[in-house]
Structure 1
Amino acid sequence: MELRTLKTFQVVATHLNQTKAAEILGYTQPTITMHIRNLEQEIGHPLFHRVGKKTYLTPAGKVLKQHVDRIMDCVEEMNKALNRLHDPYGTLVIAAPEYYWTHFLTMLIHTFVKLHPQVKLKLVSCNSVDVIQMITAREADVGIITGKNKNEDLEFVSLDEEELLLVIRKDLHQNSDLSAILQTYPLFFKKFSYLDWLFDRCMEEIPTPMAVIESDSEEAIKQAILKGTGVGIISGDLIHEEIRKGELIPLHRFTQTLDTFLITRRDRSDEITIQAFVELVMEGWDEAAEESL
């Protein structure tokens, strides 16, 4: 049995009128008649009978109509599912530290929603370690993290390289040399559990500080520096405006950079919804960075 023949039968059986069916399907009436005749010959039963001017389904026609309706529903669902492969769909879970939500992702999410309103978004704010764990465990689809680890299950896309600066509040600088400053004020630093080497490399470039205070928040480090509590190692992007205004003075520019990556699972990177978001982020990240300055 051909699908088009079954479709012809379904429309005729629904309207009980071959002329109406021909109009709906765009066939000539002889074509409709041929489809019905071929189907009756194939199943070995008449499907319609006439009483006066009215057409009715035979018992065989009623049975066939029930099954054909289910077949056509399945075909419609199949076509919908296949069509969704061409456009993003479903739910997309995006995980990233608060810093990226505040400075980059808000604008990108706005654009994605306009382009793909049919996709339901779930936004998760957490540290980079948790982002990696969520992506690995399939609890999130796309993540933004600071630094790169050696997880072979993940695909890493480089988005940005942030300059790391050692800075101090302007009025505390007083033209003192770096050694004297680091012996006077504690050093604030955000240490990443999977980037221990970054802290060690930075320490190789400057004199040993009197004390090191770790924080899991760059915003807290920034506020501590602005209040004169100490000096700090921090992303240049985060204090761009304070440096421009002269509120903070760079004491040292590190050779190491703080790299930003977009991550997905390798075995999911070809999924259409994930692809659509990844492409948007790659195209719009630099513009979002400029907007945040």
Structure 2
Amino acid sequence: MDTAALQVFQAAARSGSVSKAAQLLNYAQSNVTTKIKQLEKELGAPLFYRHNRGITLTPAGKTLLEYADKALRLLEEARKAVQDASTPIGPLSIGSMETTAAVRLPHLLADYHRMCPEVDLSFVTGPSQQLIQAVLDYSLDGAFVMGPVEHPELLQDSVFEEDLVLVTDTLHPRLDFPKELTDRTVLVFRSGCSYRAKLLGWLQEEGVMPVKIMEFGTLETIIGCVAAGLGVSLLPESIVRSKTKESLVRSYPIPERYGRVQTVFIRRKDAYMTQAYKLFLHEIKNRFLLPGGSGEPS
């Protein structure tokens, strides 16, 4: 059972399609089919059900996928361990909530890039739930998410605290909380965003049902639409402070249990720590680590 065959099998299993796996691996479709058939012959069991919608794993295929994921991950860790040097090099994938990336991380990322120009740093933003799953799936080395995060396979460091505020336009009269929000549209990030969950939880507790919820993909769009009078949102005070001073939006405090949140940096316990990763963690702790942020499971 060779590595290439396992990689082909994994790609086909994840994509649910031989053609998609071929595109992903830059293989001819016939080569993917041949590799899968060779594996099935070697193992003496069918790995996929074939149907007009693509392919689906058989019970044997599901079992093999678990082991293939482990084997390929160990091989990648072995490659990193052998190639790792005193000078930080190689890939490093980091995720963050959109709001944290916009305000807290630009200087960290810029300084790290100057210190470690040979590191292939990739950075993605998304909702906390999505980022947590990506770290668990080894797709990201680590991520800044809203905490605390309770998971037996993860470590977390507390890095900053934020005050969340309700943000409205300056076109409407000032709010007399919170019943007046009943006829207002709520502007949020897509499902999985922790701030969205906080806002909707608070409104539900207050007995307020917004007339409409609109999802947006970027922080700038939400702030712009709030300022234009489209609706209201819940965002970190640090994000909207300058907009408030310029009278582009208004901000209102909300109850502390909904308005005070912690950002943590998470990583897998079993992740291999390259020099590039060790230096990135060092910079996080030097710049941001809160008292009591131990890096141990909580």
Using structure 1 for the length normalisation, give the TM-score: 0.58
Counterpart code for 1:161: E
CA deviation vs aligned residue, 1:26-75 (integer Å, no higher than 9, x gap): xxxxxxxxxxxxxxxxxxxxxxxxxxxxxxxxxxxxxxxxxxxxxxxxxx
* Cα distance in structure 2, aligned partners of 1:253 and 1:261: 22
CA distance 1:154–1:171, shift in 2 (3 Å): same
Partner of 1:178: 177
Partner of 1:273: 276
For the 8 Å contact 2:103–2:239, the answer to whether it is kept is: no
The share of aligned pairs that are identical, in percent, is: 19
Deviation at residue 228 of structure 1 after TM alignment: 0.9
Equivalences, count: 205
* Cα distance in structure 2, aligned partners of 1:221 and 1:166: 12
Partner of 2:56: none
Partner of 1:24: none
Deviation at residue 114 of structure 1 after TM alignment: 2.3
Deviation at residue 92 of structure 1 after TM alignment: 1.4
Partner of 1:242: 243
Using structure 2 for the length normalisation, give the TM-score: 0.57
- Among 259, 263, 267, which residue is 1:264 paired with? 267
* Cα distance in structure 2, aligned partners of 1:285 and 1:122: 20
Partner of 1:253: 254
Alignment of 1:65-76 (within 5 A): none
Question: 1:172 aligns to what SS in structure 2?
Answer: coil
For the 8 Å contact 2:149–2:156, the answer to whether it is kept is: no
Deviation at residue 86 of structure 1 after TM alignment: 4.3
Partner of 1:221: 222
Deviation at residue 216 of structure 1 after TM alignment: 4.6
Counterpart code for 2:152: E
Alignment of 1:51-66 (within 5 A): none
Partner of 1:152: 152
Question: 1:117 aligns to what SS in structure 2?
Answer: coil
1:187 aligns with 2:186: yes
Deviation at residue 243 of structure 1 after TM alignment: 1.3
* Cα distance in structure 1, aligned partners of 2:178 and 2:146: 29
Unpaired stretches in structure 2, ≥5 consecutive residues: 1-80, 290-298
Alignment of 1:164-175 (within 5 A): 164-173=164-173, 175=174
CA deviation vs aligned residue, 1:181-217 (integer Å, no higher than 9, x gap): 3244233344753758634542266451442414254
Deviation at residue 252 of structure 1 after TM alignment: 3.5
Counterpart code for 2:278: Q
Partner of 1:91: 91
CA deviation vs aligned residue, 1:58-105 (integer Å, no higher than 9, x gap): xxxxxxxxxxxxxxxxxxxxxxx8895544332212223444444333
For the 8 Å contact 2:132–2:143, the answer to whether it is kept is: yes
* Cα distance in structure 2, aligned partners of 1:147 and 1:191: 18
For the 8 Å contact 1:128–1:145, the answer to whether it is kept is: yes
